[in-house]
Structure 1
C-alpha cells in the first residue's frame, strides 16, 4: 500500500475532500443525535443505534467457558454504552471449535454464560440506570475448514491452501450436516437459557455455513442448486424458530470475492453478482430473521475486504485499492441489504478505519436509511467506551481510536489472546512478545 493511501486526515474537511476527489459514495452528517435514538425490535427496546461487532478474543477456558479476559472484554463493552453487544463466535459443538481457546457453549458450562449475560446487563445498569438494557446476541458458529478437524464441504485450491487442507481430505457427508443443524438447535436452547436476547446463525467469512452457500461443486442435498446450497442455513433457522423462543439474527457474507463456481455472490470472473444474495436476504426476512449484520469475503484470503486497514501485519494480501475504497464497498453492501428488506434491521460495518471521523459517516449512513445500526469491531477493542463518547461528547477521542494496525488479528492468528496492543498495551503486548520470541 502506498503511504499516501493510509489514514492521514487532520480534519473532517480533509476526509470530505478525499471522498470528493475519488468520487466515493460515502455520506457525511454532523447530526450525531440520530445515533442516540432508541430502536424498537419486537417487545425489546435497543437503547441506541450503536453496536459492538463479534470479534474472537481467543481467551476462553479449556472447556469453552468465558475466561478472565473474555469477561473483562465484555464488561468493558457493557460499560461502554453500546445499545447492542454481539457476542463473538461460540462453537455449537466441540467438532466446530476453531481452537481450544474459542468459546463453546454446552450444558456443563451453561452457568458461566448465564453469568456473562448478568455481568454485562448489571454493568450497563450500574452506569446508565435501570432502564438501560443492552440487546445481547450470541453468534453460534461451526468453523468448518478452519476448525480443529478441518471439516470441508468441497475442495477449492486457494481455500484448501489457506487452511492447510490436503487434496485427499474427505468432505462432510449430508448426514453430518444434518447433525450440525441439530447441534445448532441444541446450542440455541442453551443460549436462551443463558438469558441472551438473540442467537446468530453465523454465515460469513467462509466458515461452514458461509462455505455452504458456495457449494456449487458439491453433490447431494447440500450442494449444487441454490435451494441445496442455502439448505443448511435455512433448515437451521427453521428448527430454531420452531423450538426456541428467541430472536434469530444472522451475520451474513453478502459476497465472497471468490470466482464462481467456488464463491458466493460472484460470477466466473470474480465480479460481484448479488442476484442470489438478494434472494437469500428476502428469504431470511420471510423466515423471521430480525437482524442482518453485513460483512464480506474472508480474512483468510482477502482480509482487507471485511476490515480495511493501513497495515496487514503480514496476515494477508496487500490490497490493490485504497482502504477508503474498501470502506465505500462495505457501505454500498449495507445499502444493498437495507434496500432489499422491509422489516429486518440492518447493521453496517467497515467504519473503524475512519477513526475519529467514523461517527459522521455512521450518522450519514443512518440518516440516508442505508442502515438501522452501525457496528464497530476493532474500534470497540481499542476504545470500548466509543458509544459513550459519541452519545455524551458528540465525538471520539483520536488518542483512543483504532489505528488499523491489524495486531489484534495477528494475535488471533497465532492463537493468542486478542486485543488492542496500542490502547490496551499492558494486557496484550505480553502476548505479542511471546510470538516475537519464537
Structure 2
C-alpha cells in the first residue's frame, strides 16, 4: 500500500504518472466517444453509457413519499443527461427504513412516486430533447441491522456479527430474523415491485450491498436454516425474491441488483473475502452468483464493495477527507479506485453479455470521463455511474457528451460532508457546490451533534 495523499493533479498526464508510479491498472483515454454508446438493457435502449448511482437524500416525508427536496434532486439528475437514473433506496416495509425520512413505497403513496418520476422525465426532455429517454430504476431495500425507522436503532439481523453488533445497537440476546419472517418479506418486495411498475419505473433493483439485510444474508456462513450456511442457502433469499418478483411484473420489466462483490469484512462474517485475509477479495462466490442472476433474468448489475458504516469506508467511497472522528486510510485513494475498477472488471469479463455498472469514479474529479471511457472501451464495464459527483455536478453527463470535458470548478472534492450530514441525521446533498440549500443544513446538524 502507498501512503495516503489527497487529490492534487492539474493535468491528466500528472494523474497518469501517479498511476504508473503506484503500478495500478487504471487506464485513461482522451477519446470520450465510448460514453455516448447506446446501451441495450432488456427491451430498452439507453441514450448513453453514463448513469446516476442511487444517492439517498434522506429527505422523504414521514409517510415515505418524495418531498419537494427529493423531487428537486431528481429534476436536476434528469436534466443532467445521464442515460440511466437509478432512484435511491426505497424501503419495502416501514420497519426496514434506515432513517425516518427514507423513502417507502406503498399503496397509499404510489401516486407521489409517479408524480416524481413524471416530473423528472419531463425535465430531462426539456433539457436534452424530446427523444431523450433515460432508463429509470427504483432501488428496493430493507436496511437490516442499520434500520432506524423512528430515529433510533431498530436493527434486524441475519446473524450475530461480533464486529458490527455493538456498533448497530444489537444486543447479545436479540434473535436473528426467522426463515418464516424472511418468506413474508419476499411478499413485500413483490408488492413494492408491482407498485414501482404502476408508478412508471422501467424496473427495480433488489438491493444487496453494504451489509444491509440482503447483503448480510449473502455472508450468512454462521446462520442456520434454509437461508444460511452453504452458498445455495446464502443466495436463496435473493434468488427466490427475484423469481417471485418476475412472476408478478412480467418479462418486460427490468430486474436489477446492486451487489456487493467484496465486503472487506472478516470471514466468516464477510462475503467475497479471502477466508485467510479479509483485506483481499475472493470473487469466486460473487461471480458464481452473478452467473445465477443472469440465468434468472437479471438484466443489470451494479457493483459495489465495502461497508460505509464500518472501518475501511474508502473501499466503498475513496475520499480526501474522512467523516468526523474517522482516520485516514492506510492506502492511496487511487488504490481504492483501482480496487473497485478491478472487481467490476472481473464481474464484467465473467459475464460479458450482462449490463454491468461500475462505481468509484467520483474521486477522479474532472478526469472521471477519461477513466470511464477507458473502462467502457476495454470491456471492463458497460455503464459508468456517478455518485457523489452527481450530488455536486448533476449535469456532468451533459457536459461530457456535449463539451467533451468536465468543469473542475463543479466537481466533487471528496470532502465527505454529504456523508457527514447523513451521519448527523440531516437531509443530504453537496455542501460545497449546492451550498445555498445544503450548507445551512450541514451547519445546523453539525452544531446539534
Shorter-chain TM-score tier: over 0.9
Q: Distance in 2 between matches of 1:388 and 1:248?
A: 27
Equivalence for 1:374: 384
Q: Distance in 1 between matches of 2:428 and 2:355?
A: 29
* Residues 1:232 and 2:241 aligned together: no
How far residue 87 of structure 1 moved from its aligned partner, in angstroms, is: 0.4
Q: Secondary structure, in 3 states, of the residue corresponding to 2:437?
A: helix
1:351 to 354, 361, 369: 361
Q: Residue deviations 1:262-294, cap 9 Å, x none? A: 110111431322111111011011111111100
1:170 to 171, 175, 178: 175
How far residue 126 of structure 1 moved from its aligned partner, in angstroms, is: 1.3
TM-score scaled by structure 2?
0.96
Q: Which structure 1 residue ranges, 4+ long, deviate > 4 Å from structure 2?
A: 1-4
Q: Residue deviations 1:406-434, cap 9 Å, x none? A: 01011111221100000001100111111
Q: Secondary structure, in 3 states, of the residue corresponding to 1:151?
A: coil
* Residues 1:391 and 2:401 aligned together: yes
How far residue 161 of structure 1 moved from its aligned partner, in angstroms, is: 2.5
Does the 8 A contact of 2:2 with 2:22 survive in 1? no
C-alpha change, 1:231 and 1:2, in structure 2 (3 Å) is: closer
How far residue 2 of structure 1 moved from its aligned partner, in angstroms, is: 9.7
* Residues 1:423 and 2:430 aligned together: no
1:365 to 367, 375, 378: 375
Equivalence for 1:342: 352
Q: Distance in 2 between matches of 1:43 and 1:153?
A: 35
Equivalence for 1:296: 305
Does the 8 A contact of 1:221 with 1:228 survive in 2? yes
Equivalence for 2:259: 252
**What's the C-alpha RMSD, in Å, of the aligned pairs?**
1.3
How far residue 198 of structure 1 moved from its aligned partner, in angstroms, is: 1.0
Does the 8 A contact of 2:84 with 2:136 survive in 1? yes
TM-score scaled by structure 1?
0.98
Q: Distance in 2 between matches of 1:198 and 1:300?
A: 28
How far residue 3 of structure 1 moved from its aligned partner, in angstroms, is: 8.8
1:269 to 269, 277, 282: 277
Q: Mean alpha-carbon deviation: is it higher for 130-139 or for 269-278?
A: 269-278
Q: Distance in 2 between matches of 1:317 and 1:306?
A: 15
Q: Residue deviations 1:313-353, cap 9 Å, x none? A: 22645311010100000000110010111321011110000
Q: Distance in 1 between matches of 2:350 and 2:167?
A: 33
Counterparts of 1:216-227 in structure 2, within 5 Å, are 216-227=221-232
Equivalence for 1:161: 166
* Residues 1:118 and 2:126 aligned together: no
Does the 8 A contact of 1:139 with 1:202 survive in 2? yes
Q: Secondary structure, in 3 states, of the residue corresponding to 1:88?
A: strand
Equivalence for 2:151: none
Counterparts of 1:42-53 in structure 2, within 5 Å, are 42-53=42-53
How far residue 141 of structure 1 moved from its aligned partner, in angstroms, is: 0.2
Does the 8 A contact of 2:41 with 2:300 survive in 1? no
Q: Distance in 1 between matches of 2:53 and 2:319?
A: 17
Q: Mean alpha-carbon deviation: is it higher for 119-128 or for 285-294?
A: 119-128
* Residues 1:328 and 2:338 aligned together: yes
Q: Residue deviations 1:40-81, cap 9 Å, x none? A: 223211010000000110000110000111000000000000
Equivalence for 2:320: 310
Structure 1: unaligned runs, 5 residues or longer: none
Does the 8 A contact of 2:4 with 2:333 survive in 1? no
| Aligned length, in residue pairs | 438
Does the 8 A contact of 1:254 with 1:277 survive in 2? yes
Q: Distance in 1 between matches of 2:293 and 2:331?
A: 32
How far residue 242 of structure 1 moved from its aligned partner, in angstroms, is: 1.2
Q: Secondary structure, in 3 states, of the residue corresponding to 1:139?
A: strand
Equivalence for 2:147: 147
Does the 8 A contact of 1:382 with 1:423 survive in 2? yes
Q: Distance in 2 between matches of 1:229 and 1:249?
A: 19
Equivalence for 1:92: 92
